[in-house]
Each structure stands twice: as C-alpha cells, then as structure tokens.
Structure 1
Amino acid sequence: MRRATTGLDLALAGLMTVAACAEVVISGGGGTALGFGVAATLLIAFRRRIPLVTACGVTVCLIAESVFVEPPDRAVPMFVLILASFSVAAHANRRDAAFGLSFLSLAMITTGALDAGDDVASLLPGWALFVGIPGGVGVAFRKRTGDVAVMEARAAAAEVAALEAVEAERRRLARELHDVVSHAVTLISVQAEAGQAVIDSDVEGARRALAAIGAASQDAVAELHAMLALLHEPSDESTGSTSTGLADLPSLVAGVRAAGLRVELVTRGVSALPPAADHCAFRVVQEGLTNALRHERNAQVRLVIDHADADSAIRVESRGTRHQSSYGGSGRGIAGLRERVAAVGGSLEVLDHDGTYCLQAVLPR
C-alpha cells in the first residue's frame, strides 16, 4: 500500500467515500448504487502512483452503475470522474494517459447515452467539462512538473560542476604553491648551508651564497605575486598560470648550478608546445632538479628535452649519494606533478634503478 498510494490520497479517498455514502443515502439510492459509488471513490487512493488503474476502475464503476442501476447524476461520481481524468493525464506516461482518458471518455459517453434526461447535443459539453478540460490541465501539470524536474537536475549538475571547478582550482593553486615554494626554499636552504660552512674560510664564497639566496627569493616572490594577481582577476588555465615555460630553463638551471648541482642540458628539436603544456614541462624540470638538490649529495643531473613531431619528452636523470634531507619535503610533489601532466594529456614516469633517479614526462604538442 505504501508503494501504491500516499497518505494524502488515502485521506482524500476516505473523505470522498464518506461523501458518496451520504449522497446515496440522502438521494434514496439502493445498495448496488452505494457499492459502485464506494468502489469508485476508494480507487482515488491510487490516483497518483497507479493512475491508469484508477482510470480503468472508475470507468468500470460508472458504466456498471449506468447499466445495472441508472446513470449517476450525483455530484461525487462526477467529481471522481474529473479527478481521475486529471490524475491519469498528470501522473501517467503519455501512452497510459491516452489509454486512461479514452476509457474515461467511454464512461462519460456511456453514462450520457443511457441517461434518458440527456440528449446527444449535451455529450460534447459534458465530455469537455468532465474529461477534456481536466485532462488538458493534467497534461499541462505534467509538463510543468517535468520542466521543474529538468531545471532542478540542471541546477544540481551546475552546483556539482561548480564545486568540482572550485576543487580543481584549489588543487591547481596548491600545485603552483608547492612548486614555487619548494624549489625556492630548497635553493635557499642549500645556499644557506654552503654559506655557513665557508663564512670564515671563504668570504667570497659566502657572498656568492648570499647573492644566490637573494636571487632565489626574488624569483619566488615574483611568482607568488603573479599567483596572487590571479586570485583577484578572472583567469583560466591557459592564461594566468602559464607565465613560465621552457624558455625560462636557462635561469632555472643557472640557479641550481649556483647551488652546487652539476647539470648537463641537452635539447633536441624546436619546442612548439601549447602554453599549458609548456608550463607543465617547466614544472617537471623544476621538480626533478629540486629533488636532486634535496635528496642527493654531489648529484650529477642530465636533463634531456626531445621535441618530436607529435610530442615532447622531458627526462631528468640524477645520480648521487642519497640522504635524508634536513629540509625534507611535503611528499606531494610527484602526486601533484602527475595531476598536472594528466591535465594536459601527457604521461609521467618515475624510475629508480641502479642509483639513478629518473623523472620522465611525455607531453603532446
């Protein structure tokens, strides 16, 4: 019953049953008329969940009462007919609604034809009043309900999309912050340790370390300012976040060389990467160099950038003495880099074999 009806429809059916009983008693009808009237009103309980059953049942009750007793001229049966017509049009699918309205039309025509007090001319107005107009209102109600459901679904989808966009932007900013801050802090830490070690014996070396710290700090501050500007102005992945690219590799390599990292740079072909992929390639190189500085002593790095016709391959190989860095890392670098590479349609591999750590990315051109 819970699947077939609702509490409101049960209450409505009960109220109409009481009204039907009172109307039959007042009009002096017999038990047969009472039975058909009660059956028709009880069927209203199913008007919303199984409206075709309600329409067919009401049709049978009205035709049976018209044939075996007399055509009902009471108010409740007519109201039941109106409500059944509206319900089957509003809550059934199109095919069931067409069948239901056809059955109810048959009931209306049969009742009118068997009523001696009605003439043929009154059938059409009667049909329009008790079946046609309620059915039309039901169709309009169903269409409006469907439109509201579609709009609600679209609104829910838009809300989910907005939340996903916010989450994607949050992850993008987190990746950018990680790359900028991690690289800068690593350079500063290495230079600070080097400067502290030689401050008494090599004043010029200490000065170079301090100069390198200043340069790394200025680069980091410039990138952070650029990122903060993105938060105040509308931008997308293709504009604001791609300010750096492979064209900035010379300054990046110079900075890590100043920190004591030995880097061999090999470039083949001409870069024609889209801006987002170009920025991603720069971050791959930056992550590889930063990890070499952080986790290897006396590291030798070979950086190979191979621009082919369909894609560009970036390979950062480092070999050195592994150690646990005192200025460590968050552990999010590689995970964030995978997301970044996947976002531009590329692939990332991390290889660690025979003392050689390799970070390799392939980015589509």
Structure 2
Amino acid sequence: MDLRGRFSTATARAASRLGREPDTKRRWAARARVLLYVGVTCLLVWELYISEVDNLPTGLTVVQVAAIVILYGLGRWPVVAAALSIPLVMAELLIGVHPFSLTIVTSVVTTGVLIAVRPRPIGYVYVATVITILTTVQPTDLPLADVASWLVVFFVPCLLGEGVRFLSSSVDRIQRTSAAQLTRQRRDLARELHDTSIHDITSIIMALERAKLTGIQDPKVLEEIDHAIAIGRQSVVSMRGVLKILRAEDGSDRRSGTENVPAAIAAAAPTLQRALDDARASLERAGHSLQVHVEDHVDLPLPFSVRTALVRVIQECTANMAKYARPGAPCTVMIERTDVETRALFLNDAREGAEADSALSSGVGLIGVRERVEAVGGSLVVRHHDGRWIIQASIPTISSASEGQVERAAQH
C-alpha cells in the first residue's frame, strides 16, 4: 500500500508539472477531444477509401461509417456513443466482418474512454456486452479461444483507461490536499494578523485619541495627531479587507468567496489619485515637496491587478522618499500610460550617510513591490546614480475580461 501511495504521489506531481492552473485538466480534456476528432476524421477518410478499393457491400460500408461517426460524440457523450455502437457491432457480424473492422476499433476506443472518464462498472459492462456479442452471434468451433482472444484485444484499452483514471484521481487528491493546506495557512495568517496588527493599530489609535484629550494646544501637533489617527483607521479598514481575502477560501465562505476576491482586492486598494494625494501630504509633513507629472488619460479605467500594483508601488516608493530623501529636497513622480503598459518613475536626491530606523525599515519593501509588479507581468528597476535614487516601474495594461468587468463595476 505504501508503494502504491508513493507511486500515486509521484505520478500526480509529474502530471501537475504539465500545468498548475486550476483548469489544467479541462484544457487537456479539450485537447484530447481535438485529437479524437482529427483521428476520427482520418478513420472516416480511410473507410471511404477502403470501401472504394475493396468494393465493400453497401450495408457493411454504412455500418462502419456509422460506427466512425459515433466516435465524434465520444468526447462529450461517451455512454450514448457506447449504447449506439452495440447494435452496429451486431449488424456487422450479421452482414459479414471485414478483415480490418472499424466497428471493432470503435468499440476498443469507446472502452478506453468509458473506463477513464465514467464510473468503472459502466466500462466493464460494456466490454462484457461486446465480447458476448462477438462470441455468440457467430460462434466458432473454439468458443473459449475466441473469448480469450477478445479479452486480450480489450485488455489494452482497459489498461489505458485505468491508467488515465489513476492519474486523474492522483492529481485530484494532490490538489485537494494542497487546497486544504493552503486554506489552513490562510486561516492561520488571518488570525495572526487580526490578533497582532489590528489590535496594535487599534491600541495606537486609542492612545492618540487620549493624547488629544490632554489639552494639547499646538495646532501643528494636533494636525499630526489627527493625520496619524486617520492613517491608522484607514490601515485597519485595509487590513480587514485583506483578512476577508485571506478567509475567502474558508469553509464558511466557500460558495461566494472565490468570486468576490478580485472585487475585495480592488476595494481594499485606494484609487490612483488618492494614493498620489496621500503621498503628497505625507512628504509635505516630512519637509519635502512632491512634484507629480501625470498624463491626462492615465485615469482611464485600469484592470484591478494593474491599479493595485501601481498604487502599492506609489505607496512604497514615496515612503522610501520620506525616509531616504535629502532634507528639503523635492521629490518627483512621473506616470505615463500607453496602449500596452503604464510606466511610473520616482526620483529623489539621496540623503548622505542616512541610516534607516531598523524598526521602521524591514529592507524587504522594494522586494515585495518587485514581486507584486512581476506577478502582473511588469518589471521594476532600482538604481542609485549621481546622488539620486531612481526607481522605474513598468506594468502591462492588457488584462483579462473579468478584471475589466470587476474594475468597471467597482467604479460604478
């Protein structure tokens, strides 16, 4: 049993390498149907050629052509095709079997498909029925030899069908196991984020609100406190949106979670203009001025994945400007959009000898931004030249139809 389990796992992993997308099996089934249609067409042409060359009886030609035509429906309705093929086998036996019987070929192919994609008993009942017809309609002097011969003939499609069934079930088992592990990891991560980050941010907001009640008179200090409270509240809202995304695959939300994930992601990320306004306000509080150069048509609807990636790039890069830019130096953001991509350029004078606070700088911010950009097919370039930090992001704007529908719905 252990050897079988290891073989099943190894086979499933090997098959999974053919495609890791959720619809991999459906795509391979579609390709198999196309291959079946091509093969059936070749058989049909071959049958018409043989009928003409060998001058076959009209009845036999009609039976064999009908058997081949049945194979066109085998990809989608294998049980119906199998039921229709049985009387054709009997008809050919009564008319006279051709040395190269395409009706038998139809039965062999049907057997493999039935066992592979339908409940196993259906395939074996079909095999037993066909062999019974082949050995009883026109019996010979050696009935046991005939049965053994036909069993050998049908053993090959049975074996191939069992192999495909075993491979498919192994892949399904691996996918179910992986999905269960991923669900547990997402649930654990959501719980930790809720119990740590959201609680801590909420505590900070409450501390700032208590500080306001102490009677602070300095307008600048009050402005900074109000800004910190607003940012904290927005962070809590965004974090709760992330928690909904993480729990979208949980059992309690399994029916509607997957459809709502794109909308939840789009809703959690601010708009492009909001991200630029927040960046300008944040840099002004840090003593910097932000120069923004944005093309007029950049605000046209963007795919949610592109908009989310672009907004996160703006947030991370402008946060780096506040930490690493030379005091009082202007910072520049330029965004342009073409028919195929959106480009963002960030420029600022670097502060000499600046050392970031280890508590505020993890060192992985730009790594995360690069991963996010590359996940949507873009690229991120970071370089230090002539005392300036230059970050350039390029994100393709060609998206799927579903992303466009989600984005339009979110905007309306």
TM-score (norm. length: structure 2): 0.46
Residues 1:291 and 2:309 aligned together: no
Distance 2:183 2:323 in 1: 32
Aligned match of 1:361 in 373, 376, 393?
393
SS in 2 for 1:345: coil
Aligned residue runs from structure 1 range 35-114, under 5 A: none
| CA distance in 2: counterparts of 1:306 and 1:164, whole angstroms | 41
Q: Secondary structure at the match of 1:264?
A: strand
**CA 1:363–1:211 in structure 2 vs 1: closer, same or farther (change >3 Å)?**
same
Between the aligned partners of 1:352 and 1:303, the Cα distance in structure 2 is: 16
1:125 partnered with 2:155:
no
Within 5 Å, give how 1:131-142 maps onto structure 2. 131-132=148-149, 134-135=151-152, 138-139=155-156, 141-142=158-159
Post-superposition Cα deviations, 1:265-288, rounded to whole Å, max 9, x if no partner, equal 111131232121011111101000
Question: Take 1:160 and 1:263, find their aligned partners in 2: how far apart are those partners?
Answer: 50
Partner of 2:242: 227
Report the counterpart of residue 338 of structure 1 in structure 2: 370
Q: Is the 8 A contact 2:381 2:393 kept in 1?
A: yes
Letter in 2 for 1:211: D
**Alignment pair present for 1:210 and 2:210:** no
Whether the 8 Å contact between 1:212 and 1:259 is mirrored in structure 2 is no
Q: Shift of residue 135 of structure 1?
A: 2.2
Q: 1:262 aligns with which of 269, 273, 289?
A: 289
Distance 1:163 1:275, change over 3 A: same
Secondary structure of the residue aligned to 1:328 is coil
Alignment counterpart, residue 332 of structure 2, candidates 298, 302, 309: 302
Residue of structure 2 aligned with 1:327, choices 353, 359, 374: 359
State the alpha-carbon separation in 1 of the partners of residues 152 and 332 from structure 2: 79
What residue in structure 1 maps to residue 265 of structure 2? Answer: 241
Q: Structure 2 CA distance, aligned partners of 1:296 and 1:166? A: 41
Determine the structure 2 residue equivalent to 1:70.
Answer: none
* 2: CA distance, partners of 1:337 / 1:288: 9
Would the aligned equivalents of 2:283 and 2:322 in 1 still touch at CA under 8 Å?
no
Residue pair 1:245, 1:278 contacting (<8 A) in 2 also? yes
> What are the equivalent positions in structure 2 for 1:133-212 lying under 5 Å apart?
134-135=151-152, 138-139=155-156, 141-155=158-172, 158-159=175-176, 162=179, 203-212=218-227
Q: Secondary structure at the match of 1:239?
A: helix
Secondary structure of 1:247's counterpart equals helix
> For each residue in 1:39-75, what CA deviation from the matched residue of structure 2 results, as whole angstroms up to 9, or x when unmatched?
xxxxxxxxxxxxxxxxxxxxxxxxxxxxxxxxxxxxx
| Counterpart residue number, 1:312 | 342
Secondary structure of the equivalent of 1:270? helix
The question of whether the paired residues in 2 share the 8 Å contact of 1:305 and 1:312 is answered with yes
Q: When the two structures are superposed, what TM-score results if normalisation uses the length of structure 1? A: 0.52
Aligned-residue identity in percent: 21
Conserved 8 A contact 2:347-2:389? yes
How far apart are the structure 2 equivalents of 1:237 and 1:354? 43
Matching residue's letter, 1:266: H
Q: Paired residue for 1:351?
A: 383
How big is the shift at 1:137? 6.4
Shift >4 Å, 4+ stretches: 159-167
One-letter identity of the residue aligned with 1:147:
V
Deviation of 1:228 (Å): 2.2
* C-alpha separation in 1, matches of 2:345 and 2:177: 38
2:284–2:290 Cα contact (<8 Å) kept: no
Task: Give the CA deviation at 1:123.
Answer: 3.6
Query: Residues 101-122 of structure 1: CA distance to partner in whole angstroms, max 9, x if unpaired?
Result: xxxxxxxxxxxxxxxxxxxx97
CA contact (8 A) 1:351 1:359 kept: yes
For structure 1, which segment, 319-328 or 280-289, has the greater mean C-alpha deviation from structure 2 after superposition? 319-328
1:326 offset after TM fit, Å?
A: 5.1
* Gap runs ≥5 in structure 2: 1-107, 109-138, 398-412
- Cα distance change, pair 164–277 in 1 and its aligned pair in 2 (3 A): farther
Cα 1:360–1:217 shift into 2, 3 Å: same
Q: Aligned partner of 1:267: which letter?
A: V
Pick closer, same or farther for the CA change 1:151–1:337 going to 2, 3 Å.
Answer: same
- Structure ID, larger Rg: 1
Alignment correspondent of 1:279:
308
Structure 1 unaligned runs (5+)?
1-88, 90-120
Task: Report how many aligned residue pairs link the two structures.
Answer: 225
Give the distance between the partners of 2:163 and 2:171, measured in 1 at CA. 12
TM-fit CA distance, 1:238: 3.1
CA distance 1:269–1:123, change in 2 (3 Å): same
SS of the residue aligned with 2:283?
Answer: helix
Q: Name the CA shift for 1:264/1:213 in 2 (closer, same or farther; >3 Å).
A: same
